[in-house]
A = this chain, B = another copy of it.
């Protein structure tokens, strides 16, 4: 037995979403069938609404309903520091700490030659323009500690040097609450290398 066509199509769409495999896609699609018609319509409309109404800040490329975004247009933020992140979700994670009071720059990805993503595919040029046109004192790189994150950080730091701006990166080390014994070797090596004096 095969799934009927509308269901097969829906499963296919769910499967295209990140981290959704064939089994989960099937479960989600069958759940949609069990939902209230009204709820399904609302869900579908909310998807289209989100896609069509949400804008990006033309300054920092954060998701926003206004342009420039809330953060870029705020007067209480430190306009001399820019924190560079890969995706809007990383920005949200940092904002949740309530510690950082500077501006952001969302690259929209990381340099990854293996996936065919070069510097021209992410917002690198726009970052350089911002540094050039504004009085920026420090660029904080808050990128994932992956191969792509490292490559992008290295690339950006080289490009930013000539502007005479301080380039820093967030510390990679042992997460709070974890145990040394269970920390992987690479993290331990990095934690040792970047030890700080107390």
What is the bound-complex CA distance between A47 and B26, given in angstroms? 13
Say yes or no: A50-B7 contact (C-beta < 8 A), given A17-B31, A19-B27, A44-B45.
yes
CB of A125 closer than 8 Å to a CB of B: no
A49 touches B6 (CB 8 A): yes
Chain A 64-99 interface mask (CB, 8 Å, partner B; 1/0)? 110000110000000000000001110110010000
A33 touches B17 (CB 8 A): no
- A52 surroundings in chain B (CB, below 8 A): 37
- A88 surroundings in chain B (CB, below 8 A): 30
Say yes or no: A24-B19 contact (C-beta < 8 A), given A4-B54, A48-B40.
yes
CB of A42 closer than 8 Å to a CB of B: yes
What is the bound-complex CA distance between A33 and B4, given in angstroms? 29
What is the bound-complex CA distance between A40 and B17, given in angstroms? 11
What is the bound-complex CA distance between A45 and B40, given in angstroms? 10
Of the candidates B1, B6, B54, B95, the one whose C-beta lies within 8 Å of that of A33 is B54
CB of A156 closer than 8 Å to a CB of B: no
- A44 surroundings in chain B (CB, below 8 A): 44-45, 47-48
CB of A41 closer than 8 Å to a CB of B: yes
What is the bound-complex CA distance between A20 and B17, given in angstroms? 12
What is the bound-complex CA distance between A20 and B25, given in angstroms? 11
Say yes or no: A33-B48 contact (C-beta < 8 A), given A3-B92, A27-B19.
no
A51 touches B32 (CB 8 A): yes
- A89 surroundings in chain B (CB, below 8 A): 26-27, 30
Say yes or no: A53-B19 contact (C-beta < 8 A), given A1-B70, A13-B43.
no
A-B CB proximity, top 10 nearest: A44-B44, A4-B65, A6-B50, A10-B50, A40-B51, A1-B95, A13-B43, A44-B47, A6-B49, A9-B46
Residues in chain A within 8 A of chain B (CB atoms): 1, 3-7, 9-10, 13, 17-20, 24, 26-33, 35, 37, 40-54, 63-65, 70-71, 87-89, 91-92, 95
